């Protein structure tokens, strides 16, 4: 493959996909290169901080934990959180982020392709 792009994003993790989302329908041609076939899965607790509100993830894709039980010195403490802890599976997060940029006229995604080297504005890959 020998093409020119304004922006090449290496890695379709949360950062790369959000970066592409910010460029959606802009005048920049964007290529995302991801080494894996499936976008999303990762060893991760999937905890979402309040900053993740900026991603507008639909509630039905997340789980909320409002109650915490702590055992300490043989005593049980029941805590109800004002701001419940939210989690999401990384596969669901990746696929949700992907859905937001699918069919964008200026964004292409190259999966199953690992970046080997970057040199003088050129990105070299291993298929
Ligand atoms: C055990 C564990 C638990 C965690 N729990 C939480 C949590 O609860 N909440 C939270 O917010 N964060 C958690 N994190 C941190 C979170 O996983 C990272 O902050 C987040 O994944 C960073 O996103 P990213 O897009 O920068 O990188 P990544 O998610 O690492 O994405 C990078 C992408 O680039 C691809 N890639 C890498 N190298 C190449 C290459 N050479 N060529 C092509 N593609 C490439 C990878 O396949 C991957 O898809 C946890 C992390 C770990 C390890």
CA–CA separation, 89 and 60 (whole Å): 12
Domain residues for the domain of 54 are: 47-88
Residue nearest (by alpha carbon) to ligand 1 atom 9:
47
What is the phi-psi region of residue 119: left when phi exceeds 0, alpha when psi lies from -120 to 50, beta otherwise?
A: beta
In terms of domains, do 84 and 65 share one? yes
pLDDT at 57: 93
Ligand 1 atom nearest 46 alpha carbon: 8
Each residue of 13-40: pLDDT tens digit?
Answer: 999 999 999 999 999 999 999 999 999 9
pLDDT at 9: 98
Is the pLDDT assigned to residue 52 strictly greater than 90? no
Q: Tell me, in angstroms, the distance from the centre of ligand 1 to residue 70's CA.
A: 29
Whose CA is closest to 98, among 51, 61, 71, 66?
61
We report the CATH number of the domain holding residue 116 as 3.50.50.60
Q: Tell me, in angstroms, the distance from the centre of ligand 1 to residue 90's CA.
A: 9
Percent of the chain with pLDDT over 70: 98
CA–CA separation, 63 and 127 (whole Å): 37
In terms of domains, do 54 and 37 share one? no
CA–CA separation, 35 and 16 (whole Å): 13
Whose CA is closest to 56, among 28, 16, 5, 93?
93
In terms of domains, do 38 and 98 share one? yes
Ligand 1 atom nearest 16 alpha carbon: 25
In terms of domains, do 114 and 57 share one? no
In terms of domains, do 118 and 101 share one? yes
Q: Tell me, in angstroms, the distance from the centre of ligand 1 to residue 13's CA.
A: 6
When divided into structural domains, the chain yields a total of 2
């Amino acid at each position: 493959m020998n093409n020119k792009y304004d922006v090449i994003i290496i890695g379709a993790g949360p950062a790369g996909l959000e970066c592409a989302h910010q460029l959606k329908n802009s005048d920049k041609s964007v290529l995302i290169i991801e080494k894996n076939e499936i976008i999303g899965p990762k060893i991760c607790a999937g905890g979402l901080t309040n900053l993740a509100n900026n991603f507008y993830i639909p509630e039905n894709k997340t789980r909320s934990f409002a109650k915490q039980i702590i055992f300490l010195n043989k005593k049980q403490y029941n805590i109800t959180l004002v701001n419940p802890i939210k989690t999401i599976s990384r596969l669901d997060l990746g696929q949700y982020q992907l859905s937001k940029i699918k069919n964008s006229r200026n964004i292409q995604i190259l999966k199953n392709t690992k970046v080997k080297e970057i040199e003088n504005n050129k990105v070299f890959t291993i298929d």
